[in-house]
Amino acid sequence: MSKIHVKTRINGEAAEFLCEPDETLLEALRDRLHLTGTKEGCGSGDCGACSVTVNGRLVASCLMLAAEAEGAEIGTIEGLAKGAELDVLQRKFVEHAALQCGICTPGFLVASKALLEKNPDPTEEEVRYWLAGNLCRCTGYDKIIRAVLDAAAEMRRA
């Protein structure tokens, strides 16, 4: 079976790759483009570790074929920091100790970024519902929620 040539933009930069027809976007990001910040947790769309944005929309990259990304604008965790400068959300996750093992963290950050772009002033309940598809087995979520709310507050003041 011949490979599919996909042209896309990832974190604002043109990117292209060859993929198998049944390859997921997650596999292409990690194994072909070596953007390994995006993690595989469950592989079935339940855990949110593989969260990326596609044309601004939050999706599970394990439940999307790489071929579907043709012409799309993809946002991954690698797009959050600006060089050595962490994104506000990343800084707040560190300050609040909102991570332990770290596997879920890129997904939480990408999902939280998508939330704050849509809703700069979410309630705690809104944050919890938005992030219900991101599972963390370490923190118990509370520190994550506090970090997101604190980041939102700082971004509103900026």
Partner 1 sequence: MQYLAPTSEDEVVAALAQADGRARILAGGTDLLVQMKADMIAPDILVDIKRIPELREITREGGGWRIGAAVSGAEFNERADICADWPGLAEAFDLIGSTQVQGRCTLAGNLCNASPAADSVPAMVAADAVARIVGPSGTRDLPVAEIPVGPGRTSLAAGEFITSIFLPARAPRSADAYLRFIPRTEMDIAVASAGVSLTLDDNGSCVAARVALGAVAPTVLLVEEAAAALIGTKLEGAALAALAQACESAATPIDDKRGTVAFRKQVVGVLARRAVKIAQDRASGKGAGERA
Q: Are 32 and 18 in contact (CB under 8 A)?
A: yes
Query: Residue from 28, 89, 109, 114 that binds partner 1 (CB under 8 A)?
Result: 114
The answer to the question of residue 126 lying near partner 1 (CB under 8 A) is no
Query: Residue from 68, 78, 91, 155 that binds partner 1 (CB under 8 A)?
Result: 68
- Relative to beta strand 73-75, strand 51-54 is antiparallel
- Relative to beta strand 57-60, strand 51-54 is antiparallel
Q: Are 52 and 37 in contact (CB under 8 A)?
A: no
Distance in angstroms (rounded) separating the CA atoms of residues 142 and 128: 9
Q: Transcribe 5-33 into DSSP letters.
A: EEEEEETTEEEEEEE-TT-BHHHIIIIIS
| Radius of gyration of the CA atoms of the chain, in A | 16
Quick one: 86 or 128, whose CB is closer to partner 1? 128
Stretch that binds partner 1, among 33-41, 65-73, 87-95, 143-151 (CB under 8 A): 65-73
Query: Residue from 45, 73, 78, 153 that binds partner 1 (CB under 8 A)?
Result: 45
Query: Residue from 29, 33, 59, 152 that binds partner 1 (CB under 8 A)?
Result: 59
- 3 state SS of 4: strand
Query: Residue from 14, 34, 44, 158 that binds partner 1 (CB under 8 A)?
Result: 44
The answer to the question of residue 131 lying near partner 1 (CB under 8 A) is yes
The 9-28 contact track toward partner 1, x by CB under 8 A, reads ------------xx-x----
Residues that bind partner 1 (CB under 8 A): 1, 4, 21-22, 24, 43-45, 48, 51, 54, 57-60, 62-65, 67-68, 70, 111, 114-115, 129-134
